[in-house]
Amino acid sequence: MNSIGLAIKLGPTDLAKYPFLEEASEYIRETRFAIEELDRPEMDHILRRSVDILETEISAGKVYTNLDKYEIEILSFLVTLIMIKSIDLEPVTKKHSLLEAMRTEKFLTEDLFKEKSLQKKKLLLHKIFQELFEIDIHFDLDLTIFRLSVPDYLMRASKMNEQEWKLINRSVHSGYVYIDTDEAVRLIRSELSNLIYDRIKTMKIPVVPERVKICAEELRKKFSIYCTYRKHHIVSDYPPCIKHAIEMMNTGENLPHSARVMLATYMLTIGKNTDEIVTMFQNSPDYNEKVTRYQIEHLAGNKGSRIKYSVPSCKRLLSEDLCFATVDCENILNPIQFGRKKANTQ
């Protein structure tokens, strides 16, 4: 979409909903806000709001949906990021990034549904989809259907677990995929989450204001209990691809779908039961016990298609960038042979 012709600008309410946009940073610069000002008592309500946001997200695991005035929203967004940086707990950073992305998803879906002005809708698409993520997305004639290129769609949808996201279940024509408003917004969740995560990680704060430090320290103590990862013992006989996946799980990384399938099918094949495998996935930022259990039972052939899935071959894992072969992997075709080969040589 071409930016030429977008005569209107984002308003204050937009900045309140999308405080990660460049225009919001510009607002902070224009108001000459200095980080030290957070030590002033009149900034207490901003600090309290940031604490509230983090309590809702980390302790309750919910999206913070309250929407305040844009000045408050923009400052709260900034202060929350500073607090997370000071709390310095990786799971908190990841969880906040994900829930903040889901918050944006909610506002953006509503805006694209309810907004009457076509120009305004186009502007939102341009600002969020194209400027942030370089996705060329267009409205279709009736303004409720969007179209984006097949590669842009596949790059994102192939990371979704649900079958409805498969390209075959979409309306596809002449290089474009046609999707609804909520689907278009859902597609960028993971990129939004990464954007916020990167903002936190790259943020440089020379001196954290004392009041922020105090709040952050209290939250750190509180959140530590949620952040004690259940460390799964890495059996030395696991093949390196499985070890790597477990290590990633242990640090709360969001494993891609293919890595989860590999880990679950491997564990099923070596005889672990569903409960044991479900607990392995507890550290995932998007962990949902019910969904995880269903998926494992599905892979085991006890649910859904009743097809028992095998461990993907080494060749397949290599093509999916999940192979971390060592010399011990020589001459094996499937990770499951790794243990057997070792046992045979002992």
Q: Which of 110, 191, 183 is nearest to 140 (CA)?
A: 183
- The CB-of-299 to other proteins minimum distance in angstroms stands at 16
Binding site for other proteins (CB under 8 A): 144-145, 149-151, 154-155, 157-159, 163-164, 166-176, 178-180, 256-258, 315-316, 318-321, 323-325
CB 33 → other proteins: shortest distance, Å?
39
- Counting Cα atoms < 13 Å in the Cβ hemisphere of 294 gives 9
- Nearer Cβ to other proteins, position 10 or 329? 329
CB of 47 to other proteins, least distance (A): 42
- Give me the least distance between CB of 237 and other proteins, in Å please: 22
Nearer to other proteins by C-beta: 81 or 261?
A: 261
Q: In whole angstroms, what is the distance from residue 270 CA to residue 274 CA?
A: 12
In the complex with other proteins, the residue whose CB is nearer, 119 or 158, is 158
Cα–Cα distance between 126 and 142 in angstroms, integer? 18
Pick 44 or 321: Cβ nearer other proteins: 321
- End-to-end, the C-alpha distance of the chain in Å comes to 63
CB-nearer residue toward other proteins: 138 or 211: 138
Determine the Cα–Cα distance for residues 118 and 133; give it in Å rounded to an integer.
21
CA angle 232–337–250, rounded 5-degree value: 15
Length reported for the chain:
346
**Cβ at position 98, least distance to other proteins in Å:** 20
Shortest approach of other proteins to residue 93 CB, angstroms? 25
User: For residues 155 and 235, which CB has a smaller minimum distance to other proteins in the complex?
Assistant: 155
Buried b / exposed e over 101-132, threshold 16 CB at 10 Å, is bbbbbebbbebbeeeeeeebbbbbbbbbbeeb
